Structure 1
Amino acid sequence: LKNVGQFKEVQPIKQSVREYVSGETFRYLGKQYRLRVQETTEEETVKYFRGFIYLYVKDTDNLNRKAKLMDEWYRRKAHLIFNESLERIYPLVEKYGVEKPSIDIRLMKARWGSALTEKNTILLNSELIKAPKYCIDYVVLHELIHFKYNDHSEKFYQMLYSLMPDWEKRKAILDEEIVKDL
């Protein structure tokens, strides 16, 4: 899943610096959502509701605090969604003797995921939360297959194709639509 070429290709059109103001758009699970920043005297939080992402903060001018809250929200959602994907996809490879790995999340510059076979862990790019669930499922399956074939051999791709015949379409969406917004 090395996408170095695609990532470098889109750097010049990278989105401008975030301001975390109402009306700004944020990608989540493959769709763009408008942000609504609202002042609160209660707990600061981020909520997704009816097609909007609401950012409740005590100080609407505190850029660092708004950025931190959004990052924490994305990370919580990534943990939840990525583990749901593992629960959905793992049964496809379980019959091949693949032990169920754990998931770790990290920001990565050049790949969507990595199979850490010696640690029985799948490392997923935190930016993957911006992709549709079916693309997340593709990355999870791709990494799970590495626990059977720790390479990109013909056998690896035969297994990938047999378990997810439309994997190339899912990969193309990641590489063409999601990368451009990173």
Structure 2
Amino acid sequence: MSEWNLRQWSLLGFVFCVLMMAVALVLEHGFGLTPCPLCVFQRVAVIIAGVVFLIAMLHAPTSRLGGVLYGLLAALPVIGGIALAGRHLWLQSLPADEVPSCGPGLDYMLDVLPMQQVVSTVLSGSGECAEVGARLLGLSLPGWTMIGFVVLLLIPVAMMCCGRMRGCGYRWNG
């Protein structure tokens, strides 16, 4: 993999984001698991990262600076996704008597509240975000999403370090 160039790393990141979204949509439409507001925000983070990877793949800069910039741009939504998944896991770990009450749905909040208040309300959590809808191998869906984001973070790191690797497609004399 040390022979990979920025375009290949970006393609891998994009494909991984598409797979994460495909799993989310299959769980929603195939198994009837309705996403809570935090799940929706995590999906937005995956989509933003996927768009950055797609742009990086199409642009494919040949400078080390390009790899660092695209790596940083891709890492930001991925780190945000890790934070959101962490918040989601924390809400799910709360005892039943400490779980925040259920609030209005995300669609309603987007219709009547300013975006800053919607984000603040979603991040503070609600009862529906604390529900564990399904488990696989002992982990809830936010746990698996956290693992997906952590694995995905390796790709922007590789993009940023790519100029230091031999055969990465850059003209690097360092």
* TM-score, structure 1 normalization: 0.30
Q: Which has the higher strand share?
A: 1
Report the TM-score, using the length of structure 2 for normalisation. Answer: 0.32
Report 1 or 2 for greater relative contact order, CA contacts < 8 Å, sequence distance ≥ 6: 2
